[in-house]
Amino acid sequence: LSAAITLARAGRSVQVFDKLRPGEGAATRNGGITSGNLRLSHAEMARRFGEARATALEAEAKVAREDLYRFIA
């Protein structure tokens, strides 16, 4: 849907097809994006990937949420 909105705002003609009702299943697939939570805790990510990478992953998640909020607005 976001791709269709982006294209439409750029002046393209788009159509969106959804097998189910619009938005159905979105909560189970996309809800985590806006929750602010990552699946792994900071401590677990640091253990697995190192402190710097864990911090970078959290920062990227924050930027992604902020971008989503701007897109919705």
Whether the full predicted model's pTM is greater than 0.85, yes or no, is no
Distances (CA, A) of 22 to 17, 26, 27, 46, 63: 9, 9, 12, 38, 27
Alpha helices in 23-50 (DSSP H): 26-35, 42-49
> At 32, phi and psi to the nearest 5?
-65, -25
- Per residue in 16-52, pLDDT tens? 988 877 767 666 556 666 667 788 999 999 999 999 9
